[in-house]
Amino acid sequence: MTLNLRAPGLIVANYGRHFLVETDQGERLICHSRGKKSQGVVGDRVLWLASQDEGTIEKIEPRRNLFYRQDDVRTKTFAANLDQVLILLAAEPEFSSGQLSRALIAAEEQHITPLIALNKSDLTVPFARAWEWLLPYRNMGYDVIPLSLKDEAPSRQTLTQRLAGKTTLVLGPSGAGKSTLINCLIPGALVQTGVLSQALNSGKHTTTSTTWYWVDVEKTTALIDSPGFQEFGLNHIDPAQLAAYMPDLKPHVKNCKFYNCSHLHEPGCGVISAVKSSDSADEISVNRYKIYSDLYAELKGMRRY
């Protein structure tokens, strides 16, 4: 390999200031960020410079999008240049409507297509309850698919079709089956990650890093496994734009009497007038409106400091 020649590559794993970069020839090598700050994320196209058996990232190419969360302490990036985000939920344990909504808002803000999969369809009663709970999200136009990772159910084929030809970030709370999904679609994936951890002297892999996996040998379909999270901060969202990132609220904003309506207390608010207890496709559920009002207050409060 010629030294002092910047070559293109793709970041496929991120371990702090260490990155695994895949070259256009399919080779992988460890690269380090230049300087003290680590700016690269999985999915970034980069230019890197070889240095003996390792390399240095010299430039990050412009991104199509960046999926991330932000709280009052730090910004946590997941991945860049995504086609879609797969939010994997399960019939059991129960999932948080607030966390689901926050992830969807983060995707909407970056113009990334969300895909929701509800796992454990073999648990008949809990699954039916959770599926009904997701009705408002189906009414919003989100693609919500049933899933069973325990067997070769047709739902697995449906998911595979949704993933084909795309780069997909996989999110999911603990117990939803994210690791099972990765291993079902990419046998030996966690073994690959363990080998990488040893190469980087980072100890046993505990899903604290983000990793890119190719699903097919043609390298047209990719899954990105992300660390779990307990909270999903949205401090980067302007509260005045929040309703625009919620598909059930957005159509009603045009009916508001005031252009700068907060949709909380103003007379003649089109959003408030659409809040109903039913799950009709053209109405806003009480639960979703509460998520909006709580999040708006949170974001508004953050901007006082």
Tell me if 180 is assigned to a ligand binding site: yes
Task: State yes or no: 172 annotated in a binding site.
Answer: yes
173 is in an annotated binding site: yes
Q: Is 257 annotated as a binding residue?
A: no
76 is in an annotated binding site: no
- 150 assigned binding-site residue: no
Q: Check the annotation: does 122 bind a ligand.
A: yes
Q: Is 119 annotated as a binding residue?
A: yes
- SS (HEC) of the chain: CCCCCEEEEEEEEEECCEEEEEECCCCEEEEEECCCCCCCCCCCEEEEEEECCEEEEEEECCCCCEEEEECCCCEEEEEECCCEEEEEEECCCCCCHHHHHHHHHHHHHCCCEEEEEEECCCCHHHHHHHHHHCHHHHHCCCEEEECCCCCCCHHHHHHHHHHCCCEEEEECCCCCCHHHHHHHHCCCHHHHHHHHHHHCCCCCCCCCCEEEEECCCCCCCEEEECCCCCCCCECCCCHHHHHHHCCCCHHHHCCCCCCCCCCCCCCCCCCHHHEECCCCCCCEEHHHHHHHHHHHHHHHHHCCC
Would you say 256 is a known binding-site residue? yes
Is 176 annotated to bind ligand?
A: yes
126 is in an annotated binding site: no
Annotated binding site for GTP: 119-122, 172-180
Residues of each annotated binding site: 119-122, 172-180, 256, 261, 263, 269
Binding-site annotation: residue ranges for Zn(2+): 256, 261, 263, 269
